[in-house]
Amino acid sequence: MADIILTINAGSSSVKFSVYEIAEGQLIPLALGLIDGIGANATFTARKSNGDKTQFALDQSHYAVDHKMALAAVLDWMEKEERGATVVGVGHRVVHGGPIYSEPLLIDAENFRILHTFEPLAPLHQPYNLAGIEAAIEAFPNAAQVACFDTAFHRRHPYLADTFALPRKYYDEGVRRYGFHGLSYEFIHRILRYEEPVLARGRVIVAHLGNGASLCAIHAGKSVASTMGFTALDGVPMGTRCGQLDPGVVLYLMAEKKMSAAEITDLLYKNSGLKGMSGISHDMRVLEASNEQAAKDAIAYFVRRVRREIGGLCAMLGGLDCIVFTGGIGENAVRVRQSILENMEWIGIQIDAEANAANERVISEKGSPVVALVLKTDEERMIAAHTSELLGLKQPLVPAIS
C-alpha cells in the first residue's frame, strides 16, 4: 500500500492540488489537479503523470460547490485512481504566517485559531487557505495537516529590513514587511544547494516573475530583503497588481474620487499592473504579441521596475554572485529577460543573447562575474517536501524528479 502526500493550494474560487507517492524516501509525482469555478460552475480536472486526464463538472443541483465539496471530489477521485493508497499528510499553502511562524507546522486547534487572526493581513487569500484546511480535515481526518507559509522564508530579517518609518507601535502590532513567494524562493535555493553549492553560499537574487512577481536577495541561504512588503501589492508591477505605489495615491482616491476601501482593493489587486497599464491583458504573452503602444509601455515599465529592484537588492547584498529567473515570465519570456539584463555589466552580468534566446539553463556568458540562470520553480513540491520532512520521512536534499 502506497503512502501519499497531498498538497492543497486553496483560493477564493479554486483549489489546486498535487499528489505524491513516498517511495524509498523520495517523493514521486503522481498527479496535478484543479477544481475551478467554486461558488459558480465548478469543474474538476486532474492529470496523472502518465498523461491520463480526468475532467468533469461537479454536481451543483442541490448546493453550490464550496471548498468542502471540492476536497470531497478530490477524495472520491483518489479512491478510484489510487486504490489502496493512504494519505498520510496534507500540505497546505498558507499565504500568511504573521510575525510568529517561520517554519512549517502541524496544524492543531490552537495554531489554527492563531492563523485566523492573520486574515486582516491577507484578506484576499488567508480565509480561503484556511477554508481549504477545514475541508481537508473533514475529507482526510486521519492525515496530518501541515501549514506551509509564503512568508516564512523571510521571517528572520533584521528589524531594519522589515520596518516602515511609522511609530514603533505599528511594527509591534504587526505592520511590517513580510515578503511573499517564500516557498518558491526556498525551492530555488534548495536546487542551488544541490546543483551549484558554491553559488548557493554566495550572494543571490531570485526573480520570481509571473502573474504575481517579486524579487528576493539571498545571502548564504537566508533571505536578506524582498521587494514585497506588508502585502503582496508592493514591489514590481504584476499581472493585475500595481506594485510599488505612493501611499498618497490611495489618499487621493479616497478623498477626491470618493472610492471605498473595497473599490480601491479591487483596483489595486485586480485591475492594475500589466492589465491596467495596457488595457489589453494581464498575460505577458498577449502583450508581447501586441503591436499596441500601451502594451509596449506596460512591458517597458515592468522591465524598468525589475531592473531598479535588482540594483537595490544588489546594494543590500554588497555585490552579486548569481541571479536566477523563475516563474512563468522568468522561465519563458526570453525578450523580457534580455531587456532586464542588457547593459548590466556594471553589476557583473554579461548576458549570452543566444543562450537566453534558446531558453538555456545558463544564460550568462562563460566567464561572466555573475552567473545568470533560468530554473523552474515548484512550490507544490516544496510543500510536499516540508510535509514529509515534518512527518519524519527522510529524503534527499531536493525531492527526486521522476
Residues with a known catalytic role: 150
Long-range contacts at 333-340 (CB < 8 A, ≥ 24 apart): 333/209, 333/284, 333/285, 333/288, 334/359, 335/288, 336/209, 336/284, 336/288, 336/299, 336/302, 336/303, 337/363, 337/374, 339/299, 339/300, 339/303, 340/207, 340/303, 340/306, 340/307, 340/310
HSE-CB for 43 with a 13 A CA cutoff: 5
Cell readout for 116 is 485566523
Sign of the torsion formed by the C-alpha atoms of 211, 212, 215 and 221: negative
* Look-up of cell digits 534527499: 396
Strand order in the sheet with 322-326: 222-226, 213-219, 203-209, 322-326, 371-374
What are the contacts of 160-166 at 24+ separation with CB within 8 A?
161/224, 161/225, 161/316, 164/229, 164/230
